[in-house]
Chains A and B, each alone.
Chain A
Amino acid sequence: MNTAIIVVSILAGAFGLILAGWSIVNTRKKYYEDFLKRTSVREKLRLPR
């Protein structure tokens, strides 16, 4: 029982960590230009940062 709990938790935790890391990297790639432009556009529109 204890071994099963440890193995399942490690697998789920590793999957979650990989997914979170992949998502953050993928978000940076997909919206990279957006991140670069956002500050200047916000200043242009006088929106709060």
Chain B
Amino acid sequence: MVNKYGRRRWLLFTVVFGMIPIFFRLSTYLFLNDAGSFQPFTASDFIALGIVLQVSVFTEMKYTTSDDDHWRQLFTGCAALFLTLFSAFYLLVLFSELGTNINLALILKVTAGLDFVSVLLYLAVYDRITAATAHAQLREVP
């Protein structure tokens, strides 16, 4: 039950801004005449998007109502888990620059998949907050 304006604002501020590194890298790749070893997608950009999404989930938790503690704890724990994972993957990307044998293509695929799950989690959080807010407004109706 995400309303039209809320979804637009969310898309603009969270997803689109989080994807700016991906857009910039992709556009640079497309306009380069000789790309050479320059990659159109890298794991670090997807990791940045995932961290932005999960931090947004953390900040949205303050809008939840007090009777939703169980749900809030579950989502806070999940966001912490995903943040830890993304941080660990970023560490692996940094280690790969030292010449360590790390499969960056695998990390790219894995982080893209986790980003998709992060978007679904954020939609679930937004859905809950919208419903709870509407419910609270209804209570105030005489």
Q: Write the residues of chain A forming the contact surface with B, with a CB cutoff of 8 angstroms.
A: 1-2, 5-6, 8-9, 12-13, 15-17, 19-21, 23-24, 26-27, 30-31, 34-35, 37-38, 41, 45, 49
**Bound Cα distance from A47 to B70, whole angstroms:** 31
**Which B residues lie within 8 Å of A17 (CB)?**
117, 120
**Chain B neighbourhood of A26, CB < 8 A:** 71
Q: A24 — which chain B residues lie within 8 A by C-beta?
A: 124, 127
* Proximity string of chain B (117-134) to chain A, C-beta cutoff 8 Å, 1 when within and 0 when not: 110110111011001101
Q: Using C-beta atoms within 8 Å of the partner chain, give the interface range for chain B.
A: 20 to 34
Contacting pair A13 B114 (CB below 8 A): yes
Let me know if B110 is at the binding interface, CB within 8 A. Answer: yes
Decide yes or no: A16 and B120 within 8 Å by CB, A5-B107, A23-B127, A35-B131 being known contacts. yes
Q: Counting CB contacts under 8 A, is B8 at the interface?
A: no
Residue of A6, A20, A21 near B106 (CB, 8 A) is A6
| Contacting residue for B141 out of A19, A23, A41, A49, CB 8 A | A41
Using Cβ atoms and an 8 Å threshold, which residues of chain B touch A45?
A: 141
The answer, yes or no, to whether B113 is at the interface (CB within 8 Å) is yes
Ordered nearest first, which 10 A-B pairs have the shortest CB separation? A16-B117, A23-B124, A20-B124, A31-B131, A20-B120, A9-B110, A34-B135, A13-B117, A27-B128, A20-B121
By the criterion CB–CB under 8 Å, are A9 and B113 in contact?
A: yes
CA distance A41 to B113 in the complex (A): 40
Which residues of chain B (77-114) have a CB below 8 Å from chain A? 78, 81-82, 85, 89, 92, 102-103, 106-107, 110, 113-114
Q: A31-B135, A34-B138, A38-B138 are in contact. Are A12 and B81 (CB under 8 A)?
A: yes
Partner of A38, one of B75, B113, B128, B134: B134
Residue among B82, B106, B124 with the highest chain A CB neighbour number at 10 A: B124
